[in-house]
């Protein structure tokens, strides 16, 4: 147990092999966006509550009630409704853009400049555009119609909850989640990802796995056995909790790869990714072509 949480765990052979075969999918969550100065949904929810108070949409008693809600999506949905009824959707949109660092490019290197070196399909539940800078516009998919289950393209970025490029259709309200995850076209898109490829989750916490809840509770067909992985950070002394989470996720065919937060906190994820990318590229026969593609895109930007 003492060595369960390492600063940088070795990458699984399955990840390296899947990248080489073009069968790797990297799912990117809010934890990765924080590394490029985007706010989490928790901070956005808090900011929206304060903005509601400032413009007179709620009083301090209601504010205290909202703060006590332990569901960021619920708070954001409530605040959106308040702004919508008051014809202040622009205020909500402004707070959303501030939270997602809209219009600001983060300096290179960052976690995205590392991830893009890997041969993979990239899927994110984030709506920010920080990773978009490394892709040509046609390869950035954020419309539901672009998520073709029969044509999942390599070297593309799929914003499965929408993008700031089309802020009206970002999936952040409960009704939007229900609508998206009950759409048959979208269900089959996810089913093909999970059933035919190896998934690596980066920057996801347990509360963000609503897509897994859909996949393993609501899908009526048995998917082929395929092992997936999730990079999760922990502090020393949490070894027992790591084991509990590993047991829980294993039921969903996901292996937790823990890394230590002791020295760098959540920023340690960046150093883990740098190491994993180096390992993947060292075992890749396509790295030269991949680097040239990236250089061409950055030069255009």
Q: CA gyration radius for the chain?
A: 20
Q: Would you state the pLDDT for residue 151?
A: 87
β-strand pairing of 24-28 with 198-202? parallel
Backbone φ, ψ for residue 86 (5° rounding): -90, 5
Residue 293 has pLDDT above 80, yes or no: no
Q: Would you state the pLDDT for residue 221?
A: 47
Report d(CA 255, CA 257) in Å as an integer.
6
Q: What is the pTM of this model?
A: 0.86
Q: Would you state the pLDDT for residue 79?
A: 96
Q: pLDDT grade, residue 286 (50/70/90)?
A: low
Residue 299 has pLDDT above 70, yes or no: no
Contact predicate 269/5, CB 8 Å: no
pLDDT (tens digit per residue) in 105-142? 766 678 999 999 999 999 999 999 999 989 999 999 99
> 13-17, 190-194, 205-209: lowest mean pLDDT where?
205-209
Residue 175 has pLDDT above 90, yes or no: no
Q: pLDDT grade, residue 1 (50/70/90)?
A: very low
Across the range 254-275, mean pLDDT stands at 95
Residue 255 has pLDDT above 90, yes or no: yes
Residue 203 has pLDDT above 70, yes or no: yes
DSSP string, 227-252: -EEEEEEE-TT-HHHHHHHHHHHHTT
Across the range 52-73, mean pLDDT stands at 94
- The end-to-end CA distance of the chain, in Å, is 47
Q: pLDDT grade, residue 289 (50/70/90)?
A: low
β-strand pairing of 254-260 with 121-124? unpaired
Q: Would you state the pLDDT for residue 180?
A: 87
Q: Does domain 13-36+109-296 have CATH number 1.20.1250?
A: no
pLDDT (tens digit per residue) in 17-45? 999 999 999 999 988 988 888 888 889 99
Across the range 44-73, mean pLDDT stands at 94
Q: Would you state the pLDDT for residue 209?
A: 65
Residues forming CATH 3.40.50 domain(s) in the chain: 13-36+109-296
Question: CA dihedral in degrees (198, 203, 209, 211; nearest 10)?
Answer: -50
State the average pLDDT for the chain: 86
Nearest Cα neighbor of 85 from 55, 41, 106 is 55
Q: Would you state the pLDDT for residue 297?
A: 53
The secondary element (H helix, E strand) that includes residue 200 is strand 198-202
Contact predicate 19/280, CB 8 Å: yes
Percentage above 90 pLDDT, the chain: 56
Residue 47 has pLDDT above 60, yes or no: yes
Q: pLDDT grade, residue 237 (50/70/90)?
A: very high
């Amino acid at each position: 147990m003492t060595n369960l949480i390492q600063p940088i765990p070795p990458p699984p052979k399955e990840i390296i092999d899947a990248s080489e075969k073009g069968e790797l999918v990297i799912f990117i969550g809010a934890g990765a966006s924080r590394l490029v100065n985007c706010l989490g949904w928790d901070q956005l929810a808090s900011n929206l509550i304060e903005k509601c108070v400032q413009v007179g949409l709620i009083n301090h008693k209601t504010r205290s009630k909202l703060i006590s809600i332990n569901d960021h999506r619920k708070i954001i949905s409530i605040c959106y409704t308040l702004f919508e009824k008051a014809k202040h959707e622009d205020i909500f949109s402004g707070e959303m853009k501030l939270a997602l660092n809209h219009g600001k490019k983060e300096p290179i290197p960052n976690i995205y400049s590392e991830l893009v070196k890997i041969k993979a399909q990239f899927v994110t539940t984030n709506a920010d555009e920080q990773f978009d800078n490394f892709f040509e516009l046609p390869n950035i998919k954020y419309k539901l119609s672009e998520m073709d289950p029969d044509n999942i393209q390599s070297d593309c970025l799929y914003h499965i909850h929408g993008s700031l490029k089309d802020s009206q259709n970002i999936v952040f309200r409960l009704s939007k989640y229900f609508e998206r995850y009950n759409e048959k076209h979208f269900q089959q898109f996810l089913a093909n990802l999970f059933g035919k490829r190896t998934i690596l989750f980066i920057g996801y916490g347990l509360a963000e796995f609503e897509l897994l809840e859909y996949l393993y509770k609501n899908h009526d067909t048995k998917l082929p056995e395929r092992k997936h992985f999730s990079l999760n950070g922990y502090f020393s002394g949490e070894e027992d909790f790591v084991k509990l989470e590993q047991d829980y996720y294993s039921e969903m065919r996901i292996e937790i790869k823990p890394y230590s937060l002791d020295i760098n906190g959540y920023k340690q994820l960046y150093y883990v990714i740098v190491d994993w990318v180096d390992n993947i590229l060292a075992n890749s026969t396509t790295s030269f072509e991949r680097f040239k593609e990236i250089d061409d895109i950055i030069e255009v930007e």
